[in-house]
Structure 1
Amino acid sequence: MTKLEREMLNYYKRSLELYEARLEVLKKPYKKSEVQLMSAERDLVRKKIKEFKLKIGELAGTLEGS
């Protein structure tokens, strides 16, 4: 495992933690005027979480194969 790969893996793990924390905040109820905006942001955060999990899996698989 190269230093760059380790740094990338750490970056993705940290970003995943931050997005998961943000998702917890977005699950709280909001005023009616904010619902649509929060729903869109929540969808975006879920998409990013999915992407980071995929990238972490790819990197972990690459590192195990090395």
Structure 2
Amino acid sequence: ALYTAKRRGRNEFCLFDAELARELQRRQSIERDLHSAITMRSLVAWFQPIVRLETEAVVSFEALLRWSHPLHG
């Protein structure tokens, strides 16, 4: 509730309710699942080349870390 009130701006308040409880539970679940994915080495690194169009030369790479979550995709 504190962080929600802070996001809303100065002189705002927020009461902890069922919606905030669901959001908290969802975030905690994702954190647990991510910790498990790290432990189980379920994260996959993808490297995408950045190409200079004029010369077609690869000038760098973009690194992405992908996680296929069983529930959220």
Structure with more contact order per residue of length (Cα contacts < 8 Å, sep ≥ 6): 1
TM-score, normalized by the shorter chain, greater than 0.5 = no
TM-score range normalised by the length of the shorter chain: 0.3 to 0.5
Structure 1 length-normalised TM: 0.42
Higher Cα radius of gyration? 2
